[in-house]
Structure 1
């Protein structure tokens, strides 16, 4: 067949098409990639929950391999999905790029139509990308980590093409854009002073400063929501601040994030199966850090908890609401970020999460 060029700003293929045809897309790195769509044998390198939300549960009928660790790092979330769809556990694993266990040989043996990788995975693989392409496997790159509106929308539409769910993808992308526009239009109209905000992945617990974020992930979300991220001058993507830097910046708002499990009894935990009382207790514990009793956020009790699994995903529109409300409680008093997070699941995913995904003191 002659390749068909797909403009991601205006997807032309009807989502009801049941047969595959050659398409050429421009991925997030502006690479031209041609493959049969909808793809029938896919390896999902990252963003597994997004793949299901956009492509529907049926998209996993065509997933022949995946890098499972990012899903299994959220153990209760993973278990929730496996209980609903046991076949997920049977999908072969392909290893991890960041720990150098990623197996090109395994992927080739799965005979996929394409592999979908995160931008950071693609860049970390180096020459292994050529090995995949030389084996006739198209490599498509998407990116939710950068946490920009353009890349969130483009990645969503790419997954829509891969799965044959272009209309659904467009709807999800439009909803994300509308949510962000609503928040930013209010901020522009109100023209209030920007509060300073510090976000930390709290898995290390009270006694060790954990990772914070510069211009991506939670750092970008806090900026989108109208905050001044205190980590931005010192951390480009992610890294740790010196404790004295936090004290000197004296943030107005502190957000601690966590998964369902941590590294000890003082770790911040959030997510599926975590009761709010426990989450609040862990959050309260961070007040005991050396010097933190002097911080404005601590003295004013403006400390918040968020689920780390709700970041770098098309689901994170609710987290932009969360930050906006934390930093501007009067301006966004009508928002319910927890309900927004749950509503996305009701509309686009086959499971119902139960736990604590946002909290505050």
Structure 2
């Protein structure tokens, strides 16, 4: 009995091969289509902010709105062109420093074309936010939108998240920068920087662990220090006060200021007799007879203005002044992930013997060489003696 053509072995093999080829071709086409799809279309971006609020983006954000210029510095640690992912910012140049702004402007001239919105120190304008058309609005913890304002912003199709480099920096810098990394598709880069920061902070924390109270010097840190009658600014429970405690000091403001920041009267400070005095200042203090420190000034000019600050009535009696433990710090090193420099400096100033080998200059070089899109320049700190 003769076989039909369909029953012949060669015909069956040909049929099987043809079916396999069609299926394989379908798989290849599907894979190619997936590869050609935009990255954001392949996977959504889930974000959880420091308040626990959850947001899902359809793709990484490329038009962020920020309400604090220091968020630009944070982005520059994880993105080679941080301006390219911004739609709007508050143009609060005083918060990053005049020279730093000019450095960013020179490298990224597109910064002049960004829309301007109210800073976290001002009144939020929902209209400004909506007009800027961001794909993600990033607000500071201390100035986040009210429920009604958030609803209006989200009704315009703009998701809202809250981050914090100010209120509780040692707790919130890490999740805040992680969020910025995930939001912009730079999660790996954020992880690299945070691992570096964590190693620096953990080494300091280990050295001061278990220090008894009598080995924790009394520290008075005066933000925006100036020769005015408006004395005296101080951190309270939070802000740089947390850093003082973390490096083995006692923040004299914590006992009487329940918030992150407030004021102390001079009589209280004199009674506390601080053993370490630290003033902060910068180019924003021009015209106030305050501390001028930062890349705009020489070390000599910074030291001269620091001398003026501690020449105010009552200050000469501080143990810190008598013992020569007076220091100046650029305020621009606070309230951003650059606080890794602040932690190192305060550690050396509060416990000079314990941290004699800590090289903050080396930390700054590492930031500039490994992370920052625009290098940080100095002098950003000064010792009176």
- Identify the range of structure 1 (157-166 vs 329-338) with the bigger mean alpha-carbon deviation: 329-338
Instruction: Tell which structure's C-alpha radius of gyration is larger.
Output: 2
Instruction: Determine if contact 1:48/1:71 at 8 Å carries over to the other structure.
Output: no
Q: 1:285 to 1:99 in 2, by over 3 A?
A: same
- Corresponding residue of 1:7: none
Q: Distance in 2 between matches of 1:223 and 1:189?
A: 12
What is the correspondence of 1:26-37 to structure 2 with a 5 Å cutoff? Answer: 26-37=48-59
Q: Point out where structure 1 has 5 or more consecutive residues left out of the alignment.
A: 1-16
- Corresponding residue of 2:19: none
For residue 349 of structure 1, give the secondary structure of its aligned residue in structure 2: coil
Give yes or no for the alignment of 1:144 onto 2:165: yes
Give yes or no for the alignment of 1:300 onto 2:323: yes
Q: 2:251 aligns with which of 229, 249, 256?
A: 229
Residues 167-200 of structure 1: per-residue CA shift (max 9 Å, x gap): 1111111222211110011112666710110001
Q: Distance in 2 between matches of 1:349 and 1:287?
A: 34
Q: Aligned-pair distance for 1:309? A: 0.6
Alignment TM-score, normalising by the size of structure 2:
0.83
Q: 1:19 aligns with which of 13, 22, 39?
A: 39
Instruction: Determine if contact 1:206/1:288 at 8 Å carries over to the other structure.
Output: no
Runs of 4+ in 1 over 6 A off after TM superposition: none
What is the correspondence of 1:252-291 to structure 2 with a 5 Å cutoff? Answer: 252-264=275-287, 266-291=289-314
- Corresponding residue of 2:241: 219
For residue 191 of structure 2, give the secondary structure of its aligned residue in structure 1: helix
Q: Distance in 2 between matches of 1:151 and 1:265?
A: 32
Q: Aligned-pair distance for 1:234? A: 1.5
Residues 6-65 of structure 1: per-residue CA shift (max 9 Å, x gap): xxxxxxxxxxx9721422222110011111332122212223334422441334223111
- Corresponding residue of 2:62: 40
- Corresponding residue of 2:197: 176
Q: 1:80 aligns with which of 86, 99, 103?
A: 103
Q: Aligned-pair distance for 1:315? A: 1.2
Give yes or no for the alignment of 1:321 onto 2:344: yes
Q: Distance in 2 between matches of 1:330 and 1:262?
A: 32
Q: Distance in 2 between matches of 1:109 and 1:351?
A: 29
Give yes or no for the alignment of 1:57 onto 2:80: yes
- Corresponding residue of 2:222: 200
Q: Distance in 2 between matches of 1:298 and 1:78?
A: 34
Q: For the aligned residues, what is the CA RMSD? A: 2.1
Instruction: Determine if contact 1:266/1:282 at 8 Å carries over to the other structure.
Output: yes
- Identify the range of structure 1 (19-28 vs 69-78) with the bigger mean alpha-carbon deviation: 69-78
- Corresponding residue of 2:9: none
Q: Distance in 1 between matches of 2:116 and 2:60?
A: 22
What is the correspondence of 1:122-141 to structure 2 with a 5 Å cutoff? Answer: 122=144, 125=146, 127-141=148-162
Q: Point out where structure 2 has 5 or more consecutive residues left out of the alignment.
A: 1-36
Q: 2:89 aligns with which of 55, 66, 69?
A: 66
Alignment TM-score, normalising by the size of structure 1:
0.88
What is the correspondence of 1:81-96 to structure 2 with a 5 Å cutoff? Answer: 81-96=104-119
